[in-house]
Amino acid sequence: MSLTDLSKENLPPIEKQDKPAPLRLALQNLSNSTKALHQAIRKGRCFEYSSEILNNLLKDEISFQVNSKFLQSQSDITPKMRSILIDWLVSVHRRFKLMPETLFLAVKISDRYLLSQETTRKDLQLVGITALFIAAKYEEIYPPELRDLILLTDRAYNKDQALAMEKKILKCLDFVITMPSSWRFFENFTEGLSEDIKSMGQYLLELSLLDENMLKFSESLLAASAVFVAEKFFKKDPRYTLPVYSESEIRSCATELLIIFQIANIHPLTAIREKFSKPQFHQVSTICLN
């Protein structure tokens, strides 16, 4: 599949509509839910973390935060194009059965490159597939071959172009690839939780990748809110939190995660929804708010 014809942007706009009754009810319940979460803190019902590791992760995520308006510096690339690219990367990632962190790191790498490097829409897919290649080499025991990744672009690029882009990206990032992602926090927060809650939380986080506006939230807050919402879906009391976040911060992020969950059912980009409709992920994308 080639994404080089991004200029057409054949995606209908998602119009803002009145929130469906189930969504309104879910949002109304968030206030009471976040109170329960903070009660869980006071009762000591949170997982034990090394304060040093946690502080380092929180410190690092600030350094690598990407502003939600970062694409305004690009003259030829729009947020919609970014969404199309990520939707396609999800399909490629799934085809090669790569680790979840590889996807999140690839998006982080491509975003940080686009933050500072003017890029044409013609080269956007090259940035994305190269970012996935870099992330896979960093995270995977057996990363896919570059030639196999290039084939999935309908041969829009060749190996030399991809290797040249790899050098450009690594130089742009000062060869720093270790970057905290929402998935890295999510892995820690979900230790001991049921697999259905983990699948729902992962679904919410992958949906958040499509929406550049979600970049206004820190990686750790996204992960904390995703687990929080997932637990509420399955009517579980919150088992963890990060004390650095207030009730209003959790509620704000959780509310937007609920909205993108609802919009996913009508969104024209379907790779993530289809992925999480499978039994492997407990078919969480087919769950309705009630």
Superfamily of domain 21-61+180-286 in CATH is Cyclin-like (1.10.472.10)
CATH 1.10.472.10 intervals, the chain: 21-61+180-286, 66-172
- Tens digit of each residue's pLDDT, the chain (290 residues): 566 555 455 554 444 444 555 555 555 555 444 444 444 433 334 444 446 666 777 888 988 989 899 999 999 999 999 999 999 999 999 999 999 999 999 999 999 999 999 999 999 999 999 999 999 999 999 999 999 999 999 989 999 999 999 999 999 999 999 999 999 889 888 888 899 999 999 999 999 999 999 999 999 999 999 999 999 888 776 655 556 788 788 889 999 999 999 999 999 999 999 999 999 999 999 998 76
Give helix then strand counts, H and E, for the chain.
Answer: 12, 0
Class of the 66-172 domain?
Answer: mainly alpha
Which amino acid appears at position 49 of this protein? Y
Prediction pTM value:
0.84
